Structure 1
């Protein structure tokens, strides 16, 4: 679990770095902006990109939760069916073992 958290942290930090890098590249397209305006544009661009990335992660997490719940339910159903089959087979074997002795004169 800790490795997954570390992996998530590193992935998010990479996204933050990429957002900052791309924000600088985007703002560089507008050479007429003052340094303050360029910095504001970079901050707004990076913030919007990180908001979008956060939304994507949130949707992925929610989908994973939905799938996990669905698979747990399906697994319970499969286990219940297998238990019913095993009990039926065991009951059949017991009947086949008992019936010949019960039919003896």
Structure 2
């Protein structure tokens, strides 16, 4: 995990998010190690040192791929968030514009009715 460690839970639940991320990553590590053992277990002719090296490399490769996937997903989430924030700002401007136009219309109508 990167970034400074935060103490306590903030209003956004930062500590909970960090704990959840840590636990998910540890589950990913355990899964990669299990799959590495299963892979090397089928290769009966390996020595113990060779089996450990293959398991280590298999695990490292799996975790490298998982990290790349997570970084790609995080980048996509950030781009989607920016896109939705932009759309929300446009929609908010439209709503305010319509509300102001309606108010101006009613004000104009009331002024016209009061002058006659």
TM-score, scaled to structure 2: 0.86
Q: Give the count of matched residue pairs.
A: 103
Structure with the bigger percentage of helix: 1
Give the number of the structure whose alpha-carbon radius of gyration is greater. 1
Partner of 1:63: 76
Helix, strand or coil for the counterpart of 2:44? coil
Alignment of 1:32 onto 2:45: yes
TM-score, scaled to structure 1: 0.94
RMSD (CA atoms):
0.8
Which consecutive unaligned segments of at least 5 residues does structure 2 have?
Answer: 1-13
Which consecutive unaligned segments of at least 5 residues does structure 1 have?
Answer: none
Q: Which 4+ runs in 1 deviate beyond 4 A?
A: none
The higher relative CO (CA closer than 8 Å, separation ≥ 6) is in 1
1:1-105 equivalences under 5 Å are: 1-102=14-115, 104=116
Cα distance in 2 between the residues matched to 1:101 and 1:4: 60
